[in-house]
């Protein structure tokens, strides 16, 4: 039984004995004692004042004295105003560590036959450009959230919607058709997604040149945009695509295939995957039919130009376009079709969209429109709205070619990790292959941790150099501590020390050791909270605090040179289980930890 549960039960007895009042453990507010005070758990006594009919300090003193005299788990106490700080006996923490040590899957809840099914959508790329740093946040956040939800016992389907059609896709296609001269990934030695992205940027460049020329002829900015020959060609290409024109479809399939190969390579580098991929080119048809059916039923209305709209003014919003006058679809149409297909394919209990906060309005509308269409799941869709990611020099823009490609960022992170590790002597004695693998693990760990440690809802600035630091709240700092623990355990094994299966409860612990066991004991609650709040950042920052505390313990307490065999074994088992939790927590973020460093 957890020590806090034992403590709660004893506090219930104290209230009954002192004040002749019967309460449940749900009425006991226990908190972890703040670091500036002595104690491990703090009891808020204010709810008991009506029972004691005394002041907060006197009430806390009375409860503390009763627990000190009668509770088998309370060692001592102190009172700070209306707060009772309690210190538990050392054998409680030894029991806690024994339980943790015996649980190979500590902190994880196993999936059950009746576990709820959660589908998580992340990545959602366009096939007109390579994945970039902005995509990294949604990819890493979505993948980590999926792992966290699994750890909470949910069935999880990781999904992706590929935006493989539309005006933006046609821009790359038209540019390649007009100015590509048959260039391919093979002929240019470029990844396919990078090649297609270059033509997206080229289109924007040519379009701006055309706009400048039209305006120099006396047209206003709006008229120049309306009369743009290039945009006219793009719209015609989209119309031909939706009409099934063979030549247009053949070009689209060829260029998309280039992009998919590039995406798969990047996903592989990031160590992420998907259980099911949907394509807008397939889901938009279902969405279009659903919208037209809604029009027939009077759920939507049609304007004179033939466009179809949803009137959301009664929901505090505006009117939302669902189909253009020429019959072509918009993002909302596609998302309606995708949602319908997903709920047809799976018995989803919770649908989570991991998409940036610039799409807040979009998902608000999607939920309302699906509800108006009569889908039961409409109101229960959840948009995990994450903040934007920027570089120290500012925002990135795809059309202007100022984004940081994910591939380039990954390569830079791995290169910087190797350079920094070599400078600090952390690769001494490694073979070239070992050094390269450690650099990969550290570089990717730095990227992932720096992004995931931030509350998803907050905007963030990614600083590559800062993320590689081996000190502070960074991935490499945590990875290095894990490697240090593994080194201690190897040396213990080489010295012939064996770890006890169960520790004797007679060992005298320092307050630092008790505190470290208490922190390790909090891991399951942190995993649950991260799942409840859809926030891997809670796990990231917990692991950092754990590692910080372990390093203080490592500095203050001798491990291998400790002469008392039982105490030495305790410290080795404590180290091993800190390592177990670090590896588990980092794994929930998709981050590897090296055994040597």
C-alpha 154/C-alpha 109 separation (Å) is: 9
CATH (domain of 17):
3.30.1360.70
Q: Which domain holds residue 538?
A: 406-588
In a domain, 465, yes or no: yes
**Residues 184 and 56 both lie in one domain:** no
Determine, yes or no, domain membership for 173. yes
Element (H, E) at 310: strand 308-311
The phi, psi pair for 247, rounded to 5°, reads: -65, -45
Nearest to 338 by CA among 168, 135, 159: 159
Residue 395 falls inside a structural domain: no
Confidence at residue 298, expressed as pLDDT on a 0 to 100 scale: 96
The low-confidence residues of the chain, meaning pLDDT below 70, are 393-403
> 274-300: string of b/e by CB count within 10 Å (b at 16+)?
beeebbbbebbebbbebbbebbeeebb
Give the pLDDT confidence of 39-66 residue by residue, as tens digits: 999 999 999 999 999 999 999 999 999 9
pLDDT score of 80: 94
- Pair 248, 174: CB distance under 8 Å: no
* pLDDT recorded at residue 471: 87
Task: Indicate whether 295 and 267 sit together in one domain.
Answer: yes
**Long-range pairs for 59-66: beta carbons < 8 A, 24 or more residues apart:** 60/84, 62/18, 63/11, 63/14, 63/15, 63/18, 66/14, 66/17, 66/18
On whether both 83 and 127 belong to a single domain, the answer is no
Please name the residue ranges forming H helices in 77-164. Answer: 90-102, 133-151
The encoded tokens of residue 557 equal 């307490």
Q: Which of 390, 420, 449 is the last residue of a domain?
A: 390
> Which residue is it, tokens 């600083």?
463
The total number of structural domains that make up the chain: 3
Cβ(421)–Cβ(350) under 8 Å? Answer: no
Q: What is the pLDDT of residue 332?
A: 94
Please tell me whether residues 416 and 560 are part of one structural domain. Answer: yes
> Are 128 and 192 within one domain?
yes
What pLDDT score was predicted for residue 401?
47
Residue 276 and residue 367 share a domain: yes
Q: Are residues 267 and 224 in the same domain?
A: yes
The span from the CA of 509 to the CA of 503, in Å, is 12
Query: Cβ–Cβ contacts within 10 Å for residue 36, how many?
Result: 6
Q: Give the Å distances, CA to CA, from 79 to 13, 83, 223, 317.
A: 19, 6, 75, 54
Tell me the three state secondary structure of residue 324.
Answer: coil
As beta bridge partners, residue 155 has 117
Same domain, yes or no: 153 and 246: yes
Q: How much is the pLDDT for 398? A: 43
Please indicate, yes or no, if residue 98 is contained in any of the structural domains.
no
**177 and 285, same structural domain?**
yes
Cα separation of 46 and 50, whole Å?
8
Residue 292 covered by a domain: yes
Helices 565-588, 523-532: inter-axial angle, 10-degree rounding: 10
In order, the DSSP letters of 160-213 are: EEEB--SHHHHHHHHHHHHH-TT--HHHHT--HHHHHHHHHHHHHHHHHHHHHH
Residue-level pLDDT at 424: 86
How many beta carbons lie within 10 A of that of residue 401, not counting itself?
16
**Closest listed residue to residue 290, CA positions, set 305, 308, 272:** 308
- In this structure, are residues 77 and 39 in contact, taking their beta carbons and an 8 Å threshold? yes
The H-or-E segment that residue 370 falls in is: helix 360-372
Numbers of helices and strands, H then E, in the chain? 22, 14
The answer on 415 and 384 residing in a single domain is: no
Instruction: Report the distance separating Cα 41 and Cα 32, nearest Å.
Output: 5
In the numeric block, the tokens 């020959």 are attached to 229
Per the DSSP assignment, residues forming a β-bridge with 225 are none
Which residue has 């066991």 as its token pair?
A: 517
Of the candidates 96, 55, 89, which has an alpha carbon nearest to the alpha carbon of residue 74? 89
Number of Cα atoms under 13 Å in the Cβ half of residue 126: 19
From residue 154, alpha-carbon distances to 113, 115, 140, 484 in Å are 10, 5, 19, 33
Which own/partner contact pairs does 245-251 have at CB distance under 8 Å and 24+ positions apart?
A: 248/173, 251/173, 251/176, 251/177
Length of the chain: 597
Q: What is the pTM of this model?
A: 0.92
Beta strands in 324-435 (DSSP E): 350-356, 382-386, 389-390
459 and 571 share a domain?
yes
As beta bridge partners, residue 44 has 83
Instruction: Decide which of 358, 390, 422 is a domain's last residue.
Output: 390
Question: Tell me, what CATH number does 171's domain have?
Answer: 3.40.50.620
415 and 559 share one domain = yes
CB-CB contact of 417 with 143 (8 Å): no
Asked whether residue 220 is assigned to any structural domain, the reply reads: yes
Q: What pLDDT digit, counting tens, does each position of 203-215 carry?
A: 999 999 999 999 9
593, part of any domain = no
Predicted local distance difference test score (pLDDT) of residue 502 = 82
User: In this structure, is residue 102 part of a structural domain?
Assistant: no
- Nearest 5°: the CA angle 228, 196, 402 is 80
For residues 130 and 126, give the distance between their C-alpha atoms in angstroms, rounded to a whole number.
Answer: 8
Give the end of a domain, one of 338, 363, 390: 390
Can you give the three-state secondary structure of 4-34, one letter per residue? HHHHHHHHHHHHHHHHCCCCCHHHCCEEECC
User: What is the reported pLDDT for 504?
Assistant: 84
């Amino acid at each position: 039984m957890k020590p806090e549960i034992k403590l709660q039960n004893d506090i219930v007895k104290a209230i009954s004995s002192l004040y002749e009042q019967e309460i449940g453990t749900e009425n006991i507010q226990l908190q972890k004692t703040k670091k500036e005070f002595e104690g491990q758990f703090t009891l808020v006594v204010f709810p008991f004042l009506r029972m004691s009919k005394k002041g907060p300090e006197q009430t806390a003193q009375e409860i503390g004295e009763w627990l000190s005299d009668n509770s088998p788990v309370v060692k001592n106490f102190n009172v700070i105003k209306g707060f009772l700080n309690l210190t538990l006996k050392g054998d409680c923490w030894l029991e806690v560590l024994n339980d943790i040590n015996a649980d190979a899957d500590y902190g994880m809840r196993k999936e059950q036959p009746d576990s709820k099914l959660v589908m998580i959508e992340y990545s959602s790329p366009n096939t007109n450009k390579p994945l970039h740093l902005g995509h990294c946040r949604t990819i890493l956040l979505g993948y980590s959230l999926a792992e966290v939800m699994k750890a909470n016992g949910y069935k999880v389907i990781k999904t992706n919607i590929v935006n493989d059609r539309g005006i933006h896709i046609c821009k790359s296609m038209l540019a390649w058709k007009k100015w590509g001269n048959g260039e391919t990934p093979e002929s240019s030695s470029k990844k396919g997604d990078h090649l297609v992205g270059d033509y997206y940027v080229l289109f924007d460049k040519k379009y701006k040149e055309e706009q400048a020329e039209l305006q120099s002829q006396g047209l206003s900015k709006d008229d120049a945009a309306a009369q743009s020959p290039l945009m006219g060609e793009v719209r015609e290409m989209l119309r031909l695509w939706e009409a099934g024109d063979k030549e247009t479809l053949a070009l689209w399939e060829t260029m998309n295939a280039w992009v998919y190969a590039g995406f798969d390579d990047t996903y592989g580098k990031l160590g992420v995957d998907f259980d099911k991929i949907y394509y807008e080119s397939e889901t938009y048809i279902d969405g279009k039919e659903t919208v037209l059916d809604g029009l027939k039923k009077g759920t939507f209305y049609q304007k004179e130009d033939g466009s179809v709209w949803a009137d959301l003014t009664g929901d505090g919003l505006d009117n939302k376009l669902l189909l253009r006058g020429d019959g072509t679809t918009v993002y909302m149409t596609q998302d309606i079709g995708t949602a319908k297909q997903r709920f047809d394919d799976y018995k989803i209990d919770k649908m989570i969209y991991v998409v940036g906060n610039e799409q807040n309005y979009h998902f608000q509308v999607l939920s309302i429109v699906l509800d108006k269409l009569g889908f039961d799941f409409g109101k229960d869709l959840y948009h995990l709205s994450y903040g934007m990611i920027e570089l120290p020099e500012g925002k990135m823009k795809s059309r202007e070619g100022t984004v940081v490609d994910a591939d380039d960022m990954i390569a830079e992170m791995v290169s910087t990790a190797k350079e920094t590790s070599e400078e600090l002597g952390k690769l001494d004695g490694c073979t070239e292959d070992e050094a390269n693998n450690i650099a990969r693990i550290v570089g990717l760990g730095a990227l992932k941790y720096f992004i995931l440690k931030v509350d998803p809802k907050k905007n963030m600035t990614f600083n590559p150099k800062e993320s590689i630091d081996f000190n502070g709240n960074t991935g490499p700092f945590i990875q290095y501590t894990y490697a240090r623990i593994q080194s201690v355990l190897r040396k213990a094994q080489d010295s012939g020390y064996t770890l006890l299966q169960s520790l004797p409860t007679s060992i005298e612990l320092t307050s630092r050791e008790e505190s470290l066991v208490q922190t390790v004991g909090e891991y399951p609650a942190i995993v649950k909270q991260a799942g409840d709040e859809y926030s891997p950042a809670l796990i990231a920052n917990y692991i950092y605090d754990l590692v910080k505390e372990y390093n203080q313990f490592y500095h203050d307490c001798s491990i291998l040179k400790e002469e008392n065999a039982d105490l030495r074994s305790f410290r080795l088992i404590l180290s091993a289980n800190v390592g177990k939790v670090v590896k588990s927590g980092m794994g929930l973020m998709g981050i590897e930890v090296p055994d040597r460093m």
